[in-house]
Amino acid sequence: MKNQYDAYLFDLDGTLVDSAPDIGAALNHSLQQASLPVVSLDLVRHWIGHGSRTLVHQALLHQQMQPKDQLIDKLLRPFLSYYGEHIADHSQLYPNTMATLLELKQRGARLAIVTNKLTELSVPLLTALDLEANFDLIVCGDTTHNPKPAPDPIQHVLDFFKVAPEQALMIGDSDADIGAARAAHIDVVCMRDGYNHGVDVATLNPDKVIDSIKELL
C-alpha cells in the first residue's frame, strides 16, 4: 500500500454512515405489512451490503420462507417507499468522517462513492448528511450493469477520473468491496466494525483493516 493515492473510493453503508437503524426500520415495516415477524437490528447489520433486493432475500430466508421473486417484489415496494421517506431519521456519520474527507480533498485527492445502494436512496442519504458536495462522482448499485463485487463500478470511477489502478484506493467494509477491488486491481482498506454478514473482515485479507477513517490520513 501507498501513503497517499490520487483517488479514494468509498463504500457508503457501514463505511461512512451507520445506516442500519433506518434500514432495519424500513425492513421491519415491510415485514409487518406482509404479516411476517420483525427482525433484530443485529441481523440487519449482517445483511447490509449487497443491495436492497438481497437484504429482503436474506430476511425471507431467516423466516424460513422460499424467497421467490414475486414475494421479494411484494416486500421490496413498501421497504423502498418507507426507507425513502425515513432515509436519515437515525443514520449517523461515523466519527471523524467529515474531517477526513475534507483533509483528503485539501490534499488534492479525487473522492468517489461506490455503493450497491440504489441511486434513489444513496443521493438523498448523502444530501441529508451533508456529504454529497465532498464527492466528485457517485456510483450506485444501478449506475453500472454489474454492481460490486464485479469490478464495473470501480472501473467506471477509474475511467471517469482517468487514474491508473495503482493510484486508487477502495475503502469499504465487506466481501463485496474486497472482491470488486481485487477484480479491478486496486488496493483495498476495510473498516473493522462495518457490515460484513457477521464475518471478521480481516479473514478476507484486505490490504489493511482500520478502526477509524482518520487512519487514511
* pLDDT per residue as tens digits for the range 35-79: 999 999 999 999 998 889 999 999 999 988 888 899 999 999 999
Domain CATH code at residue 55: 1.10.150.240
Average pLDDT over residues 153-158: 98
Statement to judge: residues 49 and 107 lie in one domain: no
Residue 61's pLDDT is 93
Residue 50's pLDDT is 84
Residue of 6, 11, 193, 200 marked catalytic:
11
Is the pLDDT score of 165 beyond 90?
A: yes
Residue 66's pLDDT is 85
Statement to judge: residues 106 and 210 lie in one domain: yes
Distance set, CA 201 to CA 177, 178, 181 (Å):
10, 9, 14
Decide if 168 contacts 186 (C-beta within 8 A).
yes
Residue 152 annotated as catalytic: no
Decide if 206 contacts 190 (C-beta within 8 A).
yes
Does some domain include residue 2? no
Query: In this structure, is the dihedral angle defined by the CA atoms of residues 140, 51, 17 and 182, taken in order, positive or negative?
Result: negative
| Domain final residue pick, 85, 106, 137 | 85
Statement to judge: residues 99 and 47 lie in one domain: no
| Domain final residue pick, 52, 85, 118 | 85
| Domain final residue pick, 85, 112, 131 | 85
Statement to judge: residues 27 and 69 lie in one domain: yes
Statement to judge: residues 75 and 99 lie in one domain: no
Statement to judge: residues 107 and 191 lie in one domain: yes
Tell me which residue range forms the domain holding 26: 20-85
Domain tally for the chain? 2
Residue type, 96: N
How far is 24 from 44, CA to CA, in rounded Å?
Answer: 6
Query: Which residue has cell 491508473?
Result: 164
Distance set, CA 159 to CA 8, 10, 152, 164 (Å):
14, 16, 10, 9
Statement to judge: residues 101 and 179 lie in one domain: yes
Give the strand order in the sheet containing 7-10: 137-139, 110-114, 7-10, 168-172, 187-191, 208-210
Decide if 148 contacts 177 (C-beta within 8 A).
yes
How far is 81 from 215, CA to CA, in rounded Å?
Answer: 36
* Residues 169-214: tens digit of each pLDDT: 999 999 999 999 999 999 999 999 899 888 899 999 999 999 999 9
How far is 73 from 71, CA to CA, in rounded Å?
Answer: 5
Query: How many Cα atoms sit within 13 Å of 156 on the Cβ side?
Result: 23
Statement to judge: residues 96 and 199 lie in one domain: yes
Distance set, CA 10 to CA 32, 86, 168 (Å):
33, 23, 11
Decide if 196 contacts 174 (C-beta within 8 A).
yes
